[in-house]
Structure 1
């Protein structure tokens, strides 16, 4: 390892890791959010109910988080680059396979499992890698990395909608598969596990003060024995249960209120671009005001906006909803992994983060699917929106019970 007199390079490699993580989250979540424009075409193609079609996206979203229990420990052991590159290949294969589907269960298998497993091998490895490269600027670095989620949500829904209109939904999926394989796969090769393995130190600074008390360095087994681990996992479950309801159902929602599919795709993109601002804003603010306190405020404000969604039934009110909801939504992605790193340390973060996020996978699976079931049952999204509000309030209550700690 380099000595304390080593002069660091002009560009700290941690920012290259952040850039690679940005690309990883761009494709992992961009593809997940682009399912909305495909929703009506698949519903019509296979004469399926909304709950049946929503299950496709729910399977993929659930696996994205649930597989962190596998991909996190593998990333700790093997490094994030190979694992995330494999994930990109699986996403591309899932899209290409779904494009050839002749029955809805083929879409479940190809898109649901292929895209779900692929994104599950991308998200936790890239996010845990970023946490290792930063301490003092962890909130900012996390915010920049997960801005890829917002950028993906901004670009991919209208791109998918345009491709569907001009080439049909099958060719649209095939074209997206090619882009993911080439651009995403190459970017993942730039990821690196930790600064120490390159003779560097977090934040690009000098070696840590040997006389300073050590920060937390919990193993997965030690973390599992703590109350905070389960509270944070439950908070992730509740917010994912709620947040993915508008992500999956926005396009059919606007169709129900007399608007066209392009407006639905536009609203999803608006959520994405607003979340870009939110990810940066909340990442910076939380480093100063406290990451846990900031995230509690995000949950409560999201509950208010989810309730507002019920009365947002025209393009203008839905636009307002999309902007505020997206900005607030942007606060969750950078803050939760940073808080988990603050509480448990980064030595075994991939394992801890991956297992903790498994609850979020259950939320993604049940939230949109339950919303589709309630709509099929009642002909309205009212009960689904109520369930989403309750989920966010329950998540805020879990966070309130977590003991605040200083970054370590």
Structure 2
């Protein structure tokens, strides 16, 4: 096996640990906040949604720093911030403090140390089989499933404050040695790529020009494809963020225990793992845009029925379809961006795209919480999510590949 695939495997493992605690696992804290502090679901959802605003406000800056400072260095910065965020979570005693801890600690650290830098490293190292590489990396959230019931179990046994402290310890203990490993591999691959680029430059006159696009941020922003793609992903995130944040509490309302609901959320993540790898593999063979359109249609169908029925015979198959669609979409959005705009300013373009996506990621959880507080039901919210997914399908149809900038 080529050395660079170990970078992907290591990235997948650390992504799994981070997602299990920082993303899916955070939903397990939701009922505890509601019970202990008496906060409304709209208020608690706002903390999760505001965390997504961090990606929009700081995304371009994070991308710029990653491109300039180096993705391999940002791994360590983000790891420390995320760890301190979970330690601070164990001391939360007010709603404003919850907001600050989640936004400027857990989510900022996750973004700086996991999502963006590892995505950049993979995009740069892999010029062939890029979608499969991203699919394996994005399988991390899928195999993070067992960590979600672990969080729910610790909360039930020792309380949510102990669970937050344990999360910090596990994240740092696993994340630091993996970051060192990724850093070492990338330096070796970087040296190998430099030699290859020198050889390519020497034979430039004897070869046809490369078809690999190399857009700057300014060039990408002036192309309508960037806006179609980013807006489609904003609507997709609106749906998946809204469902993920309210998944556990929705099932608790329907008679499930917190532990059982957390376990089903973990199972949902695990089910999506094969789709992340499978769609990554297919993305190297077929049209990524059309694959994403099909997945968005399946997402719309599943979310609609999940919100309108509590019957296990209907809810469970729809949850499986939702999980597979979610997983496939997650693995394709980065490689299609790299295919469309290249890797020259990948992190900066990705950060700006996240700014557009912020509207959807913020609206999703808050809208679901607000409509529940208003109607005591998630039916209307999930119906809106289904319509939003259809809108994303149309935008993906319009998001055709731009002409290459060499």
Question: Following the alignment from structure 2 to structure 1, what is the Cα–Cα distance between the partners of residues 30 and 175?
Answer: 24
Q: CA, structure 1 residues 236+24, in 2 after alignment: closer, same or farther (shift >3 Å)?
A: farther
1:194-209 equivalences under 5 Å are 197-200=190-193
Residues 1:151 and 1:202: Cα distance change in structure 2 (over 3 Å): farther
Q: Structure 1, unaligned stretches of length 5 or more?
A: 1-10
Q: Which runs of 5+ in 2 are unaligned?
A: none
Pairing 1:185–2:176 present: yes
CA distance in structure 2 between the aligned counterparts of 1:202 and 1:310, rounded to whole angstroms: 55
Q: Distance in 2 between matches of 1:219 and 1:100?
A: 43
Matched, 1:283 2:280: yes
The corresponding residue for 2:13 is: 23
State the match for 2:91 in structure 1: 100
- Cα offset, 1:99, TM superposition: 0.6
Offset of residue 330 of structure 1:
0.7
1:304 is aligned to 301
Q: Which residue of 1 aligns with 2:221?
A: 224
* 2:208 equivalent among 190, 208, 212: 212
SS of equivalent to 2:193: coil
Q: CA deviation at 1:372?
A: 0.1
- 2:349 is the alignment partner of 1:357: no
Aligned runs of 1:259-298 on 2, under 5 Å?
259-298=256-295
Distance of 1:194 and 1:128 partners within structure 2: 14
Superposition deviation, residue 86 in structure 1: 1.3
Report how far residue 41 of structure 1 moved. Answer: 0.6
Give yes or no for contact 2:302–2:319 (8 Å, CA) kept in 1.
Answer: no
The alpha-carbon deviation at position 201 of structure 1 amounts to 7.7
Between 1:156-165 and 1:81-90, the stretch displaced more is 81-90
Larger helix proportion of the pair: 2
Confirm or deny: 8 A CA contact 2:309 2:315 kept in the other structure: yes
2: CA distance, partners of 1:312 / 1:21: 37
Q: 5 Å matches for 1:107-186? A: 107-121=98-112, 122-152=114-144, 154-186=145-177
Task: Give me the TM-score of the superposition, normalised by structure 2.
Answer: 0.91
Show the counterpart of 1:6.
none
Q: Give the TM-score normalised by structure 1.
A: 0.91
Does residue 55 (structure 1) correspond to residue 51 (structure 2)? The answer is: no
Deviations 1:318-371 (A, max 9, x none): 332222211111111221111111111112111111211222233222100111
Paired residues of 2:225 and 2:401 also in contact (CA < 8 A): no
Cα separation, 1, equivalents of 2:19 and 2:158: 23
Q: Using the alignment, how far apart are the partners of 2:129 and 2:229 within structure 1? A: 22
Q: Does the aligned pair in 1 maintain the 2:308–2:379 contact within 8 Å?
A: no
Note if 1:318 corresponds to 2:308.
no
Pairing 1:67–2:58 present = yes
